[in-house]
Every structure is written in C-alpha cells, then in structure tokens.
Structure 1
Amino acid sequence: MSNERLRSALLAQGVTVQELADSIEVNPKTVERWITQGKVPYRRHQYATAAKLNVDVTTLWDDSRAVATSADLSKAEIVTIYPHRHMVPNTLWREIYERAASRVDVLVYSGLWLSEDPLFHDLLKRKAEGATQVRILLGDPDCEAVRQRGIDEGHRIMDGKIRNALVNYRPLFTSHPDIGFRLHDGTLYNSLFRSDDEMLVNTHVYGIGAYMAPVLHLRRLPGGGLFDTYANSIEQTWGSARPVSDHDVTGA
C-alpha cells in the first residue's frame, strides 16, 4: 500500500525524492519504497523526514513506535514549568528574547507589565534594527473577547490595560516602523512569548490573572510537536489581526 500522505507532503513542500534522500542521507530508491510500497523507515529517518517537510511525524506514519516516541519528544520540549508567572525569574524573559536571531513574537491581550519595561523596549529596537522579525499582537480593546477576559479575571478594565500598553509602545510606531504591531479579536487560552525555537507559554485560568497562572518554558525539538502547536497559533492569529489605529490608542 502506498503512502499518499508522504507523497502529498513532498509535493506541498516542493521537495523532490532526490532532495529528501540527500537531506536525510538515504538512497533515493529507499524513499521511493516508502512512498510506493508503504515501507516504514527507521525512526531516525522518520523524524529526519518530518523535520525536513515541517510536519509532525505521526502525519506521515501511523507506526505505534513513532507515536510513542513523538510523545516522548514532546515531553522533552518542556524545559521547565513554573506554577505561577510571578515565579518566572525576572531576567528570563529578556534572556530568551536576547537569544533571538530570526524572530521575536508576543501574543497577549495586554502584556502591560512587559510594555512598561524600558529594557524590553531597547531590546525590541536592537532586534528590529538587525535582521530579526519582531511582531507584537495585542487584543482589540473594543472586541468581545477582551471584555469577557476582563470579566473572567474579576475586573472590567482589560480594554484600558491594552490602551495603556499601546500608549507605552506608541514611540516605537514611528521610531521603528519595522516592528509589527497588530490587534486580534480572538479568545486566547495562553499568552505566548516566542524567540526563535524557544517559547514561554503563560496559560490562562478562569478566575485569576495571568500572573497567577502556570508558565511552560519550551524549546523546540524536531518531531516533538508541542512547540509547533503553540507556534502555529501565533501564525494564525497574526494572519487575521488588524493594524493599530489612533482610536485604539486613545479610545476617542
């Protein structure tokens, strides 16, 4: 039985059989047998193939060994877990972003505490002046999801916190226009802070502020899947978000 999922993944990524074989150091005829005969490769080749095609290994093969190992890899992506955000070392946020070479992403409702940090502003400037892509996603202060999140946290001022954050960031709008600022209207189940293949995931828990909720420190591993699940959420939210207007900042 042929492996049409592998064939489709190759086509979707524009990768030829020869290119895949060269990348993972196997004979092209071996790759052909994986596709046309449904042969299941060694696990190391499964993960190398999945990494090359930017998909989860279980998308390509149903091998139970792969499923078990993928789960183990996902666990290995967890560097540590903090029971509350306020227990995360103050320096860790900036240290993670300092290591960024290609991307800095922030996906939050307000992230007011981060917008108030002048050292974080300086970091964003340095990254934007280099080759790093910087994207800041805040909640749309006028949307229903923001109103509801404020209620869930026990207050009704989330829109005001977002506008305060926008005021804090406003100098960057003109001084560093390459920094991307957008507003989303989605319901967030986590606040996400990504730096290349490293991420802090601040979970959201009903009835308490995000500073009291757990934080996962993740580091991406090929074939793991956990990191990529959160990373894909950032991409989808960015794609549907809108630019910031003067009204969003002032409320007028």
Structure 2
Amino acid sequence: MPNDRLRAAIDAAGMTIEDVSARVHVDPKTVGRWVYSDVRRPHRTTRQRVAQLLRVEEGHLWPADERPTPSAAVAELVHLYPTRSAVPVSLWNDLIHSATEAVDVLVFSGQFLVEQHDVLPVIRSKAAAGVRFRLAVGDQHSPAVIQRAVEEGTTGGLEGRIQMMRRYLHEVAHLPGVEVRTHGTILYNSIYRFDDQALINGHAFGSLAGQNPMLHIRRVPGGSLWEHYMRSFDRVWDIAEPEPVER
C-alpha cells in the first residue's frame, strides 16, 4: 500500500520526489520507494529531516512500529487541506487518472472538474475500460440550490454553473457504466470518490465551495469515516432523478 500521508505532505509542500531527494541527499528512487510502499521506512535521522522539510510530525508520516495507530479514523485521514483551492492539482489528476473501479461524485456544480481537469475524456476512456461512474449534480431549479446561491452571494451564478455542468455531462451520460442524476438535497458535503480514496469538501454557511476545508481520506479496515460519507452519498443517489440521456 502506498504511503498516502507522505505523498500528500509532499504535494502540500509544493514539492516533488526529486525535490525531497535533493534536499535530504537521498537517491530519488529511494524516496519513490518510501512513497509507493508504506513498508519502506528511512532511517530515523532521515525521517526527521524529511518531516522537518515537509513541516509535519514524523509520527504522522511513519507511525511507530511499536505502538498501534490511535484509531482507524486517524489512519483514514490522509491529509486535511484548509481549502479546496489548496488541494494540489497533481493530487486531483492522480486520483482522477488512477481510478480503475469506481468514481462517485456528489456536487451542486463541479464545473471545475471539466474546465480545470478535463475530466470528460477520462470518463470516456475509463468507462470503456469498465470503470463505473455515478455523477450526482444539483437541480438548478430546486429550493436547496436557490437558497445556497443566496447564502453564498452568487444568486443566478450557481444555477448557471449547474446548468453548464449538466450540459457537459450530456456528452457522456449515454456511455455504458456512466450514470448521471440530479438532486435537490441540501449539500452538506461535496464528495469526490476515486476507488478507495476520496476528497470530502465540507460546506460552511455563506462560504464558496473553494474556500471550505477538504478532507483526503482512504478506505482502511475498521474505519468509520469512509462508510459514513459513502452512506451519505448513497442516500442522495437513491432519491436523485436520472438525467435524460441524449444519444
């Protein structure tokens, strides 16, 4: 299993494996092995240098062998970003392009996925390879969407972004394995699930989505965060309306 905490900390610091390698005087291949296998651990002095470089606790990157992780929930949390805008582009792209089984998205708009991360060609190619997509976007006419737009000071703007996203998704909604639905529920959290990892964007009253914190979590045995948010997704999905398919 990859060391997602180390990878997230490197991304959050705006660095690459090569940057870390140069700063701690270790071969890039060695740093890569630390990232892509959580059983690979550097010597203690090197761990301390890496933790100091990335400004995180050593025990967060490499939990001590002699003591158990405090809880499965701690193991589930890969990284906490102060805002959605702070999530590195490289992480978004890695999660989007590495999915091999399932992608679930719950948003009102999510327009940035198309316009910033060019997700439509990825959906086409991955759906052809058997990846399942469930994409739940808002109904721009619903009271929840209209209220949210007023609260965040974007009256008319949010509705327009949703309408544009629905138009984008019409291009892929007919593909086998791709389902698009609309919902009118209160959006307490936007959810972006890619196989066994997910980004959870909580929403605070009066704030734009990009200004709110983002949890990066992963599925681990015994964890509760993953099941908590996936159950929430399923509840919305079950009452959402299938989007008409244009062929």
Decide: shared fold, TM above 0.5.
yes
Partner residue of 2:224? 225
Are 1:127 and 1:134, in contact at CA under 8 Å, matched by a contact in 2? no
Question: How far apart, in 1, do the equivalents of 2:164 and 2:124 lie?
Answer: 20
Question: How far apart, in 1, do the equivalents of 2:225 and 2:69 lie?
Answer: 10
- Give percent identity, aligned residues only: 35
Say how many residue pairs are matched: 178
Partner residue of 2:87? 88
Higher mean alpha-carbon deviation, 184-193 vs 113-122, is at 113-122
SS in 2 for 1:141: coil
Partner residue of 1:195? 194
1:87–1:151 distance in 2 versus 1, CA, 3 Å: same
Partner residue of 2:168? 168
Question: How far apart, in 1, do the equivalents of 2:131 and 2:70 lie?
Answer: 31
Question: How far apart, in 2, do the equivalents of 1:74 and 1:232 lie?
Answer: 16
Question: How far apart, in 1, do the equivalents of 2:237 and 2:70 lie?
Answer: 28
Partner residue of 2:148? 149
Query: Is residue 186 from structure 1 mapped to residue 185 from structure 2 by the alignment?
Result: yes
Structure 1 gap segments, 5+ residues each: 1-68
Partner residue of 1:215? 214
SS in 2 for 1:186: coil
Are 2:130 and 2:177, in contact at CA under 8 Å, matched by a contact in 1? no
Please list the CA deviations of residues 165-191 of structure 1 after superposition, one character each: whole Å capped at 9, or x if unmatched.
1122222234x2531100011111110
SS in 1 for 2:199: strand
Please report the TM-score for the alignment, with normalisation by the length of structure 1. Answer: 0.66
Q: Give the aligned CA root-mean-square deviation in angstroms.
A: 2.0
Letter in 2 for 1:186: T
SS in 2 for 1:206: coil
- Please report how far the alpha carbon of residue 99 of structure 1 lies from its aligned counterpart in structure 2 after TM superposition: 2.2
Question: How far apart, in 1, do the equivalents of 2:240 and 2:162 lie?
Answer: 15
Partner residue of 1:134? 133
1:99–1:153 distance in 2 versus 1, CA, 3 Å: same
Structure showing greater radius of gyration is 1
SS in 2 for 1:80: strand
Question: How far apart, in 2, do the equivalents of 1:240 and 1:118 lie?
Answer: 28
Question: How far apart, in 2, do the equivalents of 1:193 and 1:184 lie?
Answer: 16
Question: How far apart, in 1, do the equivalents of 2:117 and 2:77 lie?
Answer: 29
Please report the TM-score for the alignment, with normalisation by the length of structure 2. Answer: 0.67
